């Protein structure tokens, strides 16, 4: 493909899966646009809500009136790919299987499938940025594997040198970031903030949520009563917030690569089953401390690991180095280059 290529994107979104699929595809769309391509998303209401908040006009949005099933989205995407003359389709949807892959593959010259679950694919180029992934995980497919292909926005790479230099000074933690996903599944953000407040000391606390987050009302009340808390709704400056933080509590999805890029010591909470494997791998690499999903003793486990990270300077220093070594923030450009080649 050449400059002027047309790329159609199909990505899942909703209360259960959150907005991470859309966000990482927006990152890829940005890299493709910088490479001269035009990008469009085929989007139902849930996907449009994320695009309305974050796309900022960088992509065309082809609206579906009702929330589609996986098969309905694939059929709509294939039809639109033909009428829109798409040169490639990007598919990021855990509900897509071999049937949907086949429908999309015949509708355009090129298909990129974003995956991190090692699902079976009979068609397409596969992108899986999880630690330890290789072509052997997707037999018969061309694969872009490992964190060097993680989809991270360019703002993170731009801040990386100065941020890592600041972290090398190893000062006492003064700013904590809590960011557990736009949808705030199970009101987890409110629970985490309540648990951390008694252990926070004088540190400032930045809390990031989506506009429809279940904890929004509770967190707004806490922020009004506690000057340590700053509440950020649908934040567009995540790179700045991660760069400014000294410790984070985050989810185990795509945002983990943003924290790695800027070497942020973190506790990673597993808020969905598909996050378990990569979060465990990040912990084995020394890039985070993993916190298993909420259960009866979740608050105690969270506070104990938070206190450990605050007080152990050697642990933080090792985590900064390990996290930064995993992801340089340039993966989106590498994927775009391969897709447009």
For 141, the 3-state DSSP assignment is: coil
Judged on CB neighbours under 10 Å (0-12, 13-18, 19+), 66 is exposed
CATH of 154-326, one of 3.40.50.2020, 3.20.20.70, 3.40.50.720, 3.40.50.2000: 3.40.50.2000
| Residue of higher predicted confidence among 67 and 271 | 67
What is the per-residue pLDDT for 133?
95
Whether residue 159 contacts residue 243, with contact meaning beta carbons closer than 8 Å, is answered with: yes
What is the per-residue pLDDT for 249?
98
Confidence grade of residue 150 (pLDDT, cut at 50, 70, 90) = very high
At 310-324, the pLDDT tens digits run 999 999 999 999 999
Q: Could you tell me the pTM of the whole model?
A: 0.95
Q: Where are the domains of the chain?
A: 6-145, 154-326
At 246-295, the pLDDT tens digits run 999 999 989 999 999 999 999 999 988 889 999 999 999 999 999 988 77
What is the per-residue pLDDT for 185?
87
Q: Find the mean pLDDT for residues 160-164.
A: 98
At 197-212, the pLDDT tens digits run 999 999 999 999 999 9
Whether residue 282 contacts residue 268, with contact meaning beta carbons closer than 8 Å, is answered with: yes
Report phi then psi at 60, rounded to 5.
-80, 145
| Gap between the Cα atoms of 142 and 300, Å rounded | 44
Tokens of 62: 């082809």
Q: Find the mean pLDDT for residues 221-236.
A: 97
| Gap between the Cα atoms of 291 and 305, Å rounded | 8
Q: Which residue has the tokens 């908040």?
A: 53
Q: E-assigned strands of 111-174?
A: 111-114, 125-128, 143-145
Residue 62 in this model has a pLDDT that exceeds 90 = yes
Smallest CA-to-CA distance from 142 within 117, 110, 104 is with: 110
Tokens of 89: 């389709």
Q: Find the mean pLDDT for residues 24-40.
A: 97
| Gap between the Cα atoms of 333 and 331, Å rounded | 5
Residue 3 in this model has a pLDDT that exceeds 70 = no
Total Cβ atoms within 10 A of residue 132 = 14
For 26, the 3-state DSSP assignment is: helix
Q: At what angle do helices 20-34 and 45-54 cross, to 10 degrees?
A: 50
| Gap between the Cα atoms of 215 and 114, Å rounded | 30
Q: Find the mean pLDDT for residues 219-228.
A: 98
Q: At what angle do helices 188-196 and 298-311 cross, to 10 degrees?
A: 50
Report phi then psi at 4, rounded to 5.
95, 5
| Gap between the Cα atoms of 21 and 12, Å rounded | 6
CATH of 6-145, one of 3.40.50.150, 3.30.830.10, 3.40.50.300, 3.40.50.11190: 3.40.50.11190
Same fold, 6-145 and 154-326: yes
Mean pLDDT of the chain: 95
Confidence grade of residue 189 (pLDDT, cut at 50, 70, 90) = very high
Smallest CA-to-CA distance from 305 within 242, 247, 257, 256 is with: 247
């Amino acid at each position: 493909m050449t400059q002027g290529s047309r790329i159609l994107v199909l990505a899942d979104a909703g209360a259960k899966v959150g907005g991470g699929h859309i966000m990482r595809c927006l990152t890829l769309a940005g890299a493709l646009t910088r490479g001269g391509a035009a990008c469009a998303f085929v989007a139902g209401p849930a996907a449009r809500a994320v695009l309305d908040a974050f796309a900022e006009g960088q992509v065309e949005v082809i609206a579906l009136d009702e929330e589609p099933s996986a098969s309905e989205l694939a059929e709509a995407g294939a039809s639109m790919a033909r009428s829109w003359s798409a040169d490639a389709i990007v598919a990021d949807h855990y509900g897509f299987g071999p049937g949907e892959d086949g429908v999309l593959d015949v509708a355009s010259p090129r298909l990129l499938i974003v995956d991190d679950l090692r699902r079976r694919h009979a068609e397409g180029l596969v992108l899986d940025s999880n630690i330890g992934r290789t072509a052997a995980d997707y037999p018969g497919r061309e694969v872009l594997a490992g964190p060097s292909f993680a989809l991270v926005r360019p703002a993170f790479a731009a801040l990386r040198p100065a941020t890592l230099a600041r972290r090398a000074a190893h000062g006492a933690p003064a700013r904590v970031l809590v960011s557990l996903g736009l949808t705030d599944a199970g009101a987890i953000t409110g629970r985490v903030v309540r648990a951390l407040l008694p252990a926070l000391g004088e540190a400032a606390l930045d809390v990031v949520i989506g506009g429809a987050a279940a904890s929004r009302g509770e967190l707004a009340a806490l922020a009004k009563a506690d000057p340590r808390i700053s509440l950020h709704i649908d934040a567009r400056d995540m790179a700045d917030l991660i760069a400014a933080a000294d410790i984070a509590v985050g989810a185990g999805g795509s945002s983990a690569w943003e924290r790695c890029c800027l070497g942020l010591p973190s506790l990673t909470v597993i808020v969905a089953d598909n996050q378990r494997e990569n979060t465990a791998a990040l912990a084995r690499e020394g890039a985070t401390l993993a916190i298993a999903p909420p259960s009866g003793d979740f608050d105690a486990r969270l506070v104990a690991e938070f206190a450990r990270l605050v007080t152990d300077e050697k642990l933080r220093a090792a985590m900064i180095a390990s996290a930064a070594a995993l992801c340089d923030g340039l993966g989106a450009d590498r994927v775009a280059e391969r897709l447009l080649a």
